[in-house]
Amino acid sequence: MLKYNIGLALRALRRNAVVTALMVIAVSVGIGASMTVLTALRAMSADPIPAKSDRLFSVRIDNWGPDVPNNALLSDLLSYPDAMALMRAHKGLRQSVMYAPVFSVTPQTANAIPFTATARAAYSDFFAMFDVPFAAGGPWTQADDDARAKVVVLGARMAQRLFPAGDALGRSVMLGDGSYRIVGVLAQWKFQPRVYDLSSRLYQQTEDVFLPLTTAADRKLLSMGGSYCSTAAAHDFASMSRSECRWVEFWVELSSAAQKPAYLEFLNDYSAQQRRIGRFHWPANVALLDVNQTLRAEHIVPGEMKIATLAAFGFLLVCLVNATGLMLARLSSRATEFSVRRALGASKAQIFVQCLAEATVVGMSGGLLGLGLTVLGLAFERAILREDYSRLISLNLDTVVTTLGLALLAVLIAALYPAWRTSRLAPAWNLKAE
Amino acid sequence: MLKMTHLSKVYRTEVVETYALRDFSIHVKEGEFVAVTGPSGSGKTTFLTIAGLLEEFTGGQYQLDGADVHGLNDNQRSRLRNQKIGFIFQSFNLIPDLNVFDNVDVPLRYRRLPGAERRRRINEALERVGLSARSKHYPAELSGGQQQRVAIARALAGGPRLLLADEPTGNLDTQMARGVMQLLEELHRDGATIVMVTHDPELAARAQREVRIVDGQVIDLAVPTRLVENAAPRPAV
């Protein structure tokens, strides 16, 4: 019966080609606008590591106290002493202090000009915590951390740039004034938003170079990310590492989300201990935010994007109201046909299903056209948005399925009233009128 | 076959009640060909739509093929209509998107018959009305008389126990009307039970008996106007 109903739908829609086209256009324009904005919104707010986002936590400790202005919200940055204390306590499954130094890289080819590379100083756990994929080699070891070894892991782009032949592993690279041995090369690693580094642009590409934080500290490299001080502090590594300035991130991976209360208790105990020794003068104020909580807390999606999404869905609603009106008019004009079908034995439910079959055809057609408009809309977005946002926006299978599904669902909802009304036509009246 | 006893149909608005049928009783036996006549607005078509289970009645009793139809839900009424009743309308009411074959197929689709069985019934019905050669034509490509023959084939395809015809020749010229009427008479001779609403005294005279409705009531059961040979009950078509 489904095939029969779809066949009837195609014939009926062909008969009223103009009205059908208007309905399909109304649906597709609404769907195209909504999906264009929704795709961008989803890309910006996507969970970057869904497999373990509920057990990876950003640790926050208030080391300034309530008297410091603008300290109501706990920062994702910690002071170096606090972060290192947590690192030494080693209470999580994996953990890492990290920050973002910047290097000048000197290629080994003749006459090559040095260039700037983004970097991440971290502990060896970082790679396992964030499921970083390797193309060659692997992370440095905990022994490298302890020995402050001059080793690095290169990002895929940097490895390709410095060693186009693909033989980076085991070679050395000049970073700043030092030579570092390459122990690992990453595969393409798309980790966006880069939730572990809220101080820089969340959607920029992952770093070019990774090195042990102990090595970076040994070389007294400062962070080029944010550093925030409640009082004036000298901007050199020795001063910063002893100060109450906040400039390093600390992330911890727990074996399960259920371990969160225990770790939070540890943080409270740590804060209480700092109060006992006279460093903190306020009750413990700590937080442990998992990946998605961190993203929400940082309001990573621009407000304009949320407003645009609401406006687009409002527009879709208007389009669907129009489609409902057109469907109602079209079905009403066929009252005699449906009355004849009732006279020949169709039940109300069968008429209802036949009307929904027509809506399904309109929905799928509108979805396909809407998909085309979404592709155009995304191309337009890529053209006008800044580079780190525009790189995120792409058409994938998820978008295709969502577009078609949304179109179908929207049209079926829009068709419910016209179909219900048509199924309840009084056949006797329509046939008498004939 | 069809028995209505003290049946009434009232249309109510906030200010007025209108009786379309009042204390209406009729008994059509299996194999009969009954003409229902009466002036416009007398209740003929209301009777036909209630008989065809397209409309509820307000009071009284209605038995179709021995079964009381009161209280049946929409699905039950639709199934009964599909299996036992064939409709022939004044305006033919063919579906313009469907060709002749598919139009005749409509009631069979709702019965969920297998494809082969449907094809057999459709071909038989079209042959019966002499339109086998036109099965791929669309209604707009046929004359009025041919369209009404398709409508009759559609009514016959399901093998109904009762044919309800509402002014079946009303939209046809004299020659075409004669052809359609001859077809109905043939069907009756083959055993069909037919109830035909008509304004036309000449057509009514060709039925086995005439029932006259005035102001929603049967006012007399006329003496058979014409005795039709072999009018005894036979299996339905």
* Residue A341 one-letter amino acid: R
Do A327 and A292 share a structural domain?
A: no
A284 phi, psi to nearest 5 deg: -55, 135
**Does A321 score more than 70 pLDDT?**
yes
Residue at which a domain ends, from A297, A326, A355: A297
- Asked, for residue A155, whether it belongs to a domain, the answer is yes
Contact B109 A337 (CB under 8 A): no
If asked whether residues A158 and A232 sit together in one domain, one would say yes
CB contact residues (below 8 A), chain B span 120-149, against chain A: none
Could you tell me if residue A232 is inside a domain? yes
Contact pairs from chain A to chain B, CB under 8 Å: 74
A16-45 pLDDT, tens digit per residue, is 889 899 999 999 999 999 888 888 888 777
In a domain, A50, yes or no: no
Q: What burial class does residue A139 get, using C-beta atoms within 10 Å of its C-beta: 0-12 exposed, 13-18 middle, 19+ buried?
A: buried
B54 and A343: CB-CB below 8 Å?
yes
Residue of B nearest to A338 (CA): B95
* Contact call for residues B163 and B148 (beta carbons, < 8 A): no
The Cα–Cα gap between A160 and A166 comes to: 7
Give the three-class secondary structure for A394: coil
Same domain, residue pair A35 and A100: no
Please tell me the pTM assigned to this model: 0.70
Least trusted range by pLDDT, from A126-135, B93-102, B221-230: B221-230
Q: Where do the H-state alpha helices sit in A181-302?
A: 213-218, 237-242, 260-276, 291-297
Kindly state whether B199 is in contact with chain A, defined as any CB-CB distance less than 8 angstroms.
no
Residue from the list B45, B52, B91 with its beta carbon closest to the beta carbon of A343: B52
Sequence-separated contacts (24+) of A125-129 with Cβ below 8 Å: A125/A94, A125/A95, A125/A96, A125/A253, A126/A96, A126/A98, A126/A210, A126/A251, A127/A153, A127/A184, A127/A210, A128/A94, A128/A253, A129/A56, A129/A94, A129/A95, A129/A96, A129/A251, A129/A253
> Which range of residues forms the domain containing residue A76?
56-297
User: For B49, which of A345, A346, A428 is closest by C-beta distance?
Assistant: A428
CA distance B64 to B216: 20
Pair (A259, A324) in one structural domain: no
Residue B46: its chain A contacts at CB < 8 A?
428, 432
Contact B109 A428 (CB under 8 A): no
The confidence band for B187, taking pLDDT boundaries of 50, 70 and 90, is confident
A199, A287: one domain: yes
Are residues A62 and A34 part of one domain? no
Query: Which residues 6+ apart lie within 8 Å of B192 measured at CB?
Result: B31, B33, B163, B236, B237
Query: pLDDT tens digits, residue range B188-210?
Result: 888 889 999 988 888 888 898 99
Same domain, A122 and A257: yes
Query: Is B47 in CB contact (< 8 Å) with chain A?
Result: no
User: Residue A151 gets which letter from DSSP?
Assistant: E
**CB distance A345–B79 less than 8 Å?**
yes
Q: For A68-108, what is each residue's pLDDT tens digit?
A: 876 666 788 999 999 999 999 999 999 999 999 988 888 87
Number of domains observed in the structure of chain A: 2
Mean of pLDDT values over B146-170: 90
Could you tell me which residues are beta bridge partners of residue A95? A252
Please identify among residues 15-34 of chain A the ones whose CB lies closer than 8 Å to any CB of chain B: 15
Place of tokens 């440095």: A140
Does the CB of A420 have a partner CB in chain B at under 8 Å? no
d(C-alpha B47, C-alpha B57), whole Å: 9
pLDDT reported for residue B233: 45
* Confidence category of residue A434, pLDDT binned at 50, 70, 90: low
Neighbours of A64 (CB within 10 A): 23
Whether the CA torsion B151, B92, B77, A346 is positive or negative: it is positive
Same domain, A414 and A397: yes
* A172-175/A178-186 β-pairing: antiparallel
Q: Indicate whether A163 belongs to any domain.
A: yes
A15/B97 Cβ within 8 A:
yes
User: Is residue A334 domain-resident?
Assistant: yes
Q: Which residues pair with B64 in a beta bridge?
A: B2, B67
Query: Quick one: A277 and A310 in the same domain?
Result: no
A251 SS3 class: strand
Distance CA A37, CA A402 (A): 13
Shared domain for A311 and A287, answered yes or no, is no
User: CB of A426 within 8 Å of any CB in chain B?
Assistant: yes
Q: Is A119 part of any domain? A: yes
What is the C-alpha separation between A320 and A189, in angstroms, rounded? 40
Residue A184 near residue A134, CB atoms below 8 Å: yes
Higher pLDDT, A192 or A262: A262
Residue A51 covered by a domain: no
Are A324 and A274 contained in the same domain?
no
> What SS3 state is found at A424?
coil
CA distance B229 to chain A (A): 31
- A336·B93 Cβ contact <8 A: yes
| Residue A400 counted as domain residue | yes
- A350 pLDDT above the threshold of 90: yes
Are A96 and A222 within one domain? yes
Q: Are B125 and B183 in contact (CB under 8 A)?
A: no
* Domain final residue, candidates A247, A273, A297: A297
Q: Does B89 touch chain A (CB under 8 A)?
A: yes
Chosen domain end from A254, A275, A297: A297
Q: Give pLDDT, residue A43.
A: 78
